[in-house]
Amino acid sequence: MSGIDEAVLNFSPGSLMLLNGILAVVMFSVAIDLRPDDFRRLAHAPKALIVGLVSQFLVLPALTFALVSLTQPRPSIALGLILVAACPGGNISNFITHRAGGNAALSVSMTAFATVGAILITPLNIAFWGGLYEPTRRILQQTHIDPVAVAVTVGLMLILPLILGVTLNTVRPQAANRIRKPVQLLSFGIFIAFVVLALAANWGFFLQFAGAVAFLVILHNALALGGGYASAALAGLSPFDRRAITIETGIQNSGLGLVLIFGFFGGLGGMAVVAAFWGIWHAISGLALAGLMNRTEAAR
């Protein structure tokens, strides 16, 4: 399976620009649910948010490093797992948390805060955890990833739409109410369609290497969900908040991961297949878990 470390996916600069735009629209669709008051409210009771961010940016990367160290996959696969773990929570986490009967407001706020924090924390986590594992350290040294360039990419793609969405919902709430549902449905549909088309363009490659990452991605996602639940439970949070943090930790922004992989790592095979498989699997596992959770009402 050594070929996966040298393989490069078929993904044009135009496709990368399109993915950037799609993710910006997805982030905007999340942001028009937010107002400055949501952030002020959390400032008065920040425990759940802090626990969620610690789970997202410290617990998950540490669990990922342990997984990589124990299983020792191919270097590009290992770095793909580390990079996905370094990304903020995925945008569909808010929808899945709502379906699970968890604290959707906490989920949306976690997505917003994690997205802002990702400007600094995502490149630092990639460099730190990737640098600790010798095979992935070699890839990082060869690619010379620029943390400032990563921060600019994250900022333009995620932070700007976040600011625009919150501003619209604050200044023109009626307009935000009118477009909220159509924009959310449209952005989710476009993102799924884009992933399907990107997979179709690389289907032979994906079939060739998916078996090498499937078990690891499923195990990694289970660790993420378990780590989120354990963090919230150990902090003594309510089941209502626990559900949000579990799902927020287990649903990663693999779209951002793909942008970084194609923008900074040249579409390196193992990394790209990991991020693509994550993008499919976390939606399946998240929706399945939400269905189980929703059978009982969560105490607040």
With respect to residue 282, please indicate whether it lies within any of the assigned structural domains. yes
Asked if residue 251 lies in contact with residue 92, where contact means CB atoms within 8 angstroms, the answer is yes
Question: How many structural domains are present in the chain?
Answer: 1
**Whole domain around residue 246: which residue ranges?**
2-293
- Given this model, what pLDDT does residue 142 score? 82
Stated pTM of the model = 0.85
Note the pLDDT tens digit of each residue in 194-208.
767 766 766 777 777
With respect to residue 298, please indicate whether it lies within any of the assigned structural domains. no
- Given this model, what pLDDT does residue 1 score? 45
With respect to residue 233, please indicate whether it lies within any of the assigned structural domains. yes
Task: Give the CATH number of the domain where residue 54 resides.
Answer: 1.20.1530.20
With respect to residue 65, please indicate whether it lies within any of the assigned structural domains. yes
With respect to residue 300, please indicate whether it lies within any of the assigned structural domains. no
With respect to residue 216, please indicate whether it lies within any of the assigned structural domains. yes
Note the pLDDT tens digit of each residue in 114-173.
888 888 899 899 999 999 999 999 888 887 667 777 777 777 777 888 889 889 989 998
